[in-house]
C-alpha cells in the first residue's frame, strides 16, 4: 500500500530531528537551514516538492557527469536489476564486472591492466595506499611506508586517506591517529620552483617513501586549485627514478571534468595506480575502482599470504558495473568530452567576467570547472560563499561553496542554453551579494 507523500515542512522537520548531514555544522543547520527538498531530477535540473526547478550547477557533488536520470543509464540499471541485483565477487564473477574491467583498461592510461573494485572514492584511494604499503614489504623494502601528498589535497574520508588530506579543518580532529604523510605545495612560485623545493626536501628520502598521491591538475575539495601539467609530469619522472609509486586520484577529475577524459592525459603520463569514482557510475550508484599496473599486481603473486586481503561486501556490484559500462558507451557514442570544449570556453569566459566584480578574485577554470574566491578570504569556514549560493538558489540554481570559493561543476553534457543560464545566475548572485 502506498503512503501519502509528506509536504515540505513535515519532511524538513523529520530531517532536522534525525538526519545528521555530511560536512554540516548541525547546530546552525537545525536553527537556520532551509534545505532544498528535492523530489525528482532530470538532466541538469532538480525539482523540489513544490514544483520549483533548480539548475544543478554542482552535478550533485560532482557525480552526475551525464546529468540526472539519463534514460540510457536508467534503462541499463533496470535491465540489470531484472536479471540480478547483486552477488559477491568472492570466487564468483559476472559479465558486468568482467567486461567493465576490460573496457576500463582499454580507456585507461597505458600500462594499467588490473581493476580492483570498491564502492566509493575514499576506499578507492584507501585500496591504493594499502597496495603501496604491502607491495614494498613484499618486495623487500619494508622501510618504504611514508606518503607524500599535496597541500590542500583531498582524497576522502577513511582514516587512512585522511592522513593524505591537506585541508586543516578536516584533519585536525584526527591528527593524532594519522599515518605519516609529507605535504608539498605544487603552487609555490612557478612549477619549476615548486618542484625543485620538493626534490630538495626528498633528496635521499626515497627509501622511506611508499608513494606520492595526487589529484591530477585540479584539486577539488581543497578549494578548486589548478596546477600545471608540467608539475605532474615532473612528479612522474621523479617517482619513476626514485622507485616510488605514483598514485593518481581521478575520482573528481576523471570522466572529462578537466577537458580530457582523464586529467593525466594532459600531462601525458601513466601512473602506477589510478583511483576512480564519482562520475564512474554516472551518479547513479556508489561505485569505485583502483587500477594497477601489471608490475604492481605481480607483487601480490606467489605464496598465499602475499595476497591483498582486502575487499568490500559490494565489490564489483552488478548494478553499478552495468551502469558504468553504459556510461563509457555514452561518452564514446556522444563524444561527450569533445563536445564539452565550447562549454569549457563559456565557463572560462564567465570566470574572467566574474573577476572584474569588486570582492571577487583568484579566478581559475579548467575544462568543466570554474571557480573564484569571494570576500576577504577566511578559508573553508568563511561565510561569503554561502551568501552567494543562497542568492543563486533564489534565482533557480543549486551550487555549493567550498568556504570562500564559489564554483560551478555542472554535468559535462549540460546543454549550452542551460549552461548560459547557470553562469548568468552565478554572476548576478556575485553582484548582488558582493557589490550590494
Give whole-number Cα distances, 100 to 33, 97, 402, in Å.
41, 5, 33
Nearest to 251 by CA among 263, 241, 243: 263
Measured from the CB atom, is 123 or 413 closer to ligand PLP? Answer: 123
Q: Enter the C-alpha cell of residue 88.
A: 559477491
- Kindly state the smallest distance separating residue 288's Cβ from ligand PLP, in Å: 6
CA distance 11 to 81: 29
Return the sign of the alpha-carbon dihedral for residues 178, 243, 156, 172: positive
- Kindly state the smallest distance separating residue 124's Cβ from ligand PLP, in Å: 7
Measured from the CB atom, is 43 or 279 closer to ligand PLP? Answer: 279
**Residue 12, C-beta contacts closer than 8 angstroms, at least 6 positions apart:** 34, 35, 37
- Kindly state the smallest distance separating residue 431's Cβ from ligand PLP, in Å: 29
Measured from the CB atom, is 58 or 421 closer to ligand PLP? Answer: 58
Q: Which residues bind ligand PLP (CB under 6 A)?
A: 120-122, 125, 154-157, 215, 220-221, 249, 251-252, 277
- Kindly state the smallest distance separating residue 235's Cβ from ligand PLP, in Å: 16
- Kindly state the smallest distance separating residue 296's Cβ from ligand PLP, in Å: 19
Would you say 57 and 422 are in contact if contact means Cβ atoms under 8 Å apart? yes
Measured from the CB atom, is 96 or 156 closer to ligand PLP? Answer: 156
Measured from the CB atom, is 94 or 155 closer to ligand PLP? Answer: 155
- Kindly state the smallest distance separating residue 20's Cβ from ligand PLP, in Å: 16
Measured from the CB atom, is 154 or 354 closer to ligand PLP? Answer: 154
Measured from the CB atom, is 209 or 402 closer to ligand PLP? Answer: 402
Measured from the CB atom, is 222 or 375 closer to ligand PLP? Answer: 222
Half-sphere exposure of 141 toward its Cβ, with a 13 Å CA cutoff?
A: 19
What backbone phi and psi angles, to 5 degrees, belong to 388?
-65, -40
- Kindly state the smallest distance separating residue 170's Cβ from ligand PLP, in Å: 12
What backbone phi and psi angles, to 5 degrees, belong to 228?
-75, 150
DSSP 376: T
- Taking CB atoms, the residue at the shortest distance from ligand PLP is 121
- Kindly state the smallest distance separating residue 252's Cβ from ligand PLP, in Å: 3
Return the sign of the alpha-carbon dihedral for residues 153, 266, 340, 282: negative
Half-sphere exposure of 115 toward its Cβ, with a 13 Å CA cutoff?
A: 26
Q: How many residues does the chain have?
A: 436
CA distance 249 to 121: 9
CA distance 88 to 359: 53
Residue 200: its H or E element: helix 191-202
Q: Enter the C-alpha cell of residue 340.
A: 564539452
- Kindly state the smallest distance separating residue 352's Cβ from ligand PLP, in Å: 25
Q: Enter the C-alpha cell of residue 251.
A: 575520482
Measured from the CB atom, is 252 or 262 closer to ligand PLP? Answer: 252
Amino acid at each position: 500500500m502506498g503512503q501519502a507523500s509528506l509536504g515540505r515542512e513535515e519532511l524538513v522537520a523529520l530531517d532536522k530531528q534525525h538526519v545528521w548531514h555530511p560536512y554540516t555544522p548541525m547546530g546552525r543547520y537545525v536553527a537556520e537551514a532551509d534545505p532544498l527538498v528535492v523530489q525528482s531530477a532530470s538532466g541538469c535540473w532538480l525539482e523540489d516538492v513544490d514544483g520549483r526547478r533548480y539548475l544543478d550547477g554542482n552535478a550533485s557533488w560532482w557525480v552526475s557527469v551525464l546529468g540526472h536520470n539519463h534514460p540510457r543509464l536508467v534503462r541499463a540499471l533496470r535491465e540489470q536489476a531484472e536479471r540480478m541485483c547483486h552477488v559477491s565477487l568472492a570466487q564468483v564473477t559476472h559479465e558486468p564486472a568482467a567486461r567493465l574491467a576490460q573496457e576500463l583498461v582499454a580507456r585507461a592510461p597505458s600500462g594499467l591492466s588490473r581493476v580492483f573494485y570498491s564502492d566509493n572514492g575514499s576506499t578507492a584511494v584507501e585500496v591504493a595506499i594499502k597496495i603501496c604499503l604491502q607491495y614494498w614489504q613484499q618486495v623487500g623494502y619494508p622501510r618504504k611506508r611514508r606518503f607524500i601528498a599535496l597541500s590542500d589535497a583531498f582524497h576522502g574520508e577513511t582514516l587512512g586517506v585522511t592522513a593524505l588530506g591537506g585541508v586543516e579543518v578536516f584533519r585536525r580532529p584526527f591528527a593524532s591517529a594519522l599515518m605519516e604523510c609529507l605535504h608539498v605545495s605544487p603552487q609555490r612560485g612557478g612549477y619549476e620552483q615548486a618542484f625543485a623545493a620538493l626534490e630538495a626536501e626528498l633528496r635521499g628520502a626515497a627509501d622511506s617513501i611508499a608513494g606520492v598521491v595526487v589529484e591530477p591538475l585540479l584539486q577539488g575539495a581543497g578549494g578548486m586549485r589548478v596546477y600545471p601539467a608540467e608539475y605532474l609530469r615532473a612528479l612522474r619522472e621523479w617517482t619513476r627514478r626514485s622507485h616510488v609509486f605514483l598514485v593518481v586520484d581521478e575520482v573528481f577529475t576523471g570522466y572529462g571534468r578537466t577537458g580530457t577524459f582523464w586529467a593525466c592525459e594532459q600531462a601525458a603520463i601513466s601512473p602506477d595506480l589510478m583511483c576512480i569514482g564519482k562520475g564512474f557510475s554516472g551518479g547513479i550508484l556508489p561505485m569505485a575502482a583502483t587500477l594497477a599496473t601489471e608490475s604492481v599486481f605481480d607483487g601480490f603473486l606467489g605464496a598465499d599470504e602475499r595476497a591483498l586481503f582486502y575487499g568490500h561486501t559490494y565489490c564489483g556490484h552488478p548494478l553499478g558495473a552495468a551502469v558504468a559500462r553504459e556510461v563509457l558507451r555514452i561518452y564514446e557514442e556522444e563524444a561527450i568530452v569533445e563536445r564539452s570544449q565550447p562549454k569549457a570556453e563559456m565557463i572560462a569566459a564567465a570566470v574572467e567576467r566574474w573577476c572584474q566584480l569588486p570582492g571577487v578574485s583568484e579566478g581559475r577554470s579548467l575544462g568543466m570547472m570554474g571557480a573564484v574566491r569571494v570576500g576577504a578570504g577566511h578559508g573553508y569556514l568563511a561565510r561569503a560563499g554561502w551568501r552567494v549560493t543562497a542568492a543563486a538558489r533564489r534565482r533557480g540554481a543549486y551550487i555549493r561553496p567550498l568556504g570562500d570559493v564559489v564554483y560551478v561543476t555542472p554535468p559535462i553534457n549540460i546543454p549550452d542554453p542551460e549552461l548560459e543560464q547557470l553562469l548568468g545566475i552565478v554572476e548576478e548572485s556575485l553582484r548582488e551579494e558582493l557589490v550590494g
